[in-house]
Amino acid sequence: MIPFYFGSRERKLFGVFEPAQNGGAKRAVLLCYPWGYEYVNSHRSMARLGTLLSHTGFHTLRFDYYGTGDSGGEDREADIEGSRRDIVTAIEELIELSGVERVSIVGLRLGAMLGVAAACEKPHLVDRIVLWDPVVEGGQYLQELYNLDDSISIPGVGPASYFSEELGGGREVMGLPMTHSVAAGISDLDLTSRLAQLPHATYAVATRSSHLQRQLQALLEQRADGSAFERLDDHPAWHEEWPENAGAIPVAVLNRIVSWLK
């Protein structure tokens, strides 16, 4: 496991590279985290997936978008278009580190959507895509986040603050600023239309069902390239119902992702 910073001096990105073990080394996987509160909740599962893939013979890289996690930038400097570009930077970094010609992308929640958006820009650098509990429609996801924050019932927690334009506008959502820029960027995202442009074999795995995921399922099942949609009964890695599933890792999902990529 090699933690390191990459990217430019102005846009330092923190990543963890795990070289392929057990005689592998011909394939590489980039893991794309979710956003906001889902990032912290899912870090444990994403780290475990990275290690599993590495032990299975894949080079893996996971990294924090600018303005998130250990990467440079403050919370308000994070933005959707910038995160998409960060994924492109990470794809190129992983290719350089591993020596492969193309990488697979595993994206969780908004990371799935951003991964697909990045693959649209560099389709020749991507071979397969895994969508893990993907956000399908940005506008609906945004509303779900607002509703979730508005329904917080925790001792000591008051209503969300709204920010001035100097601070980027918008409001707090689950502990982080949802600036006007980020909200607009999320609203513009639509997974199925982007995915229809991509020729890559795609596997989607969902731990919760929704009508939007059924649209995604229909899209993937039309394809004859090995694409698939699967519903698995497991924990949502990105959402913590404390204390019921605190720290729980969705082992069935991780194993299924690894076996599909193999």
Partner 1 sequence: MLGQDEALAAIVTRPVMEAHAPAIIILNTGVAHRVGHHRKFVTLSRRLARAGHTVVRFDFPGLGDSPAMTTDASLLEGNLFAIREVANWIEQAFSIDRIIMLGLCSGADQSVIYAGRDTRVKGAILLDPSIPRTRRYHINDFSRRIRSRALWTNFLSGKGRIWDYTRSLFRKDGAVSVSSRQFSRPNLEHPEAISFLEGVYQGAIDNGVNLLGIFTAGQEYQHNYRTQIVDALPKVHFADRVSLHFLRDCDHTFIRESYRNYMYSLVADWLLSEFPDDRSPNHGVASGDDIESMEF
**Contact residues: partner 1, CB under 8 A:** 1, 3-5, 12, 14, 16, 37, 40, 43-44, 47, 51, 68-70, 72, 74-75, 152, 154-158, 160-161, 172, 174-177, 243-244, 246-247
CB nearer to partner 1: pick between 2 and 196: 2
Task: Look at the block and give the residue holding tokens 């995604």.
Answer: 216
CB nearer to partner 1: pick between 23 and 243: 243
Compute how many other C-beta atoms are within 10 angstroms of the C-beta atom of residue 163.
Answer: 17
Buried b (16+ CB within 10 A) or exposed e, 105-139: bbbbbbbbbbbbbbbeeeeebbbbbbbbbbbbbbe
| Smallest distance from partner 1 to CB 157, Å | 5
Task: Look at the block and give the residue holding tokens 């991780």.
Answer: 254
| Smallest distance from partner 1 to CB 72, Å | 7
| Smallest distance from partner 1 to CB 83, Å | 15
CB nearer to partner 1: pick between 232 and 248: 248
CB nearer to partner 1: pick between 90 and 195: 90
Compute how many other C-beta atoms are within 10 angstroms of the C-beta atom of residue 187.
Answer: 16
CB nearer to partner 1: pick between 10 and 124: 10
| Smallest distance from partner 1 to CB 204, Å | 27
Evaluate whether 249 touches 45 at the Cβ level (below 8 Å). yes
Start-to-end CA span in the chain (Å): 21
| Smallest distance from partner 1 to CB 175, Å | 3
Contacts of 166 (CB under 8 A, 6+ apart): none
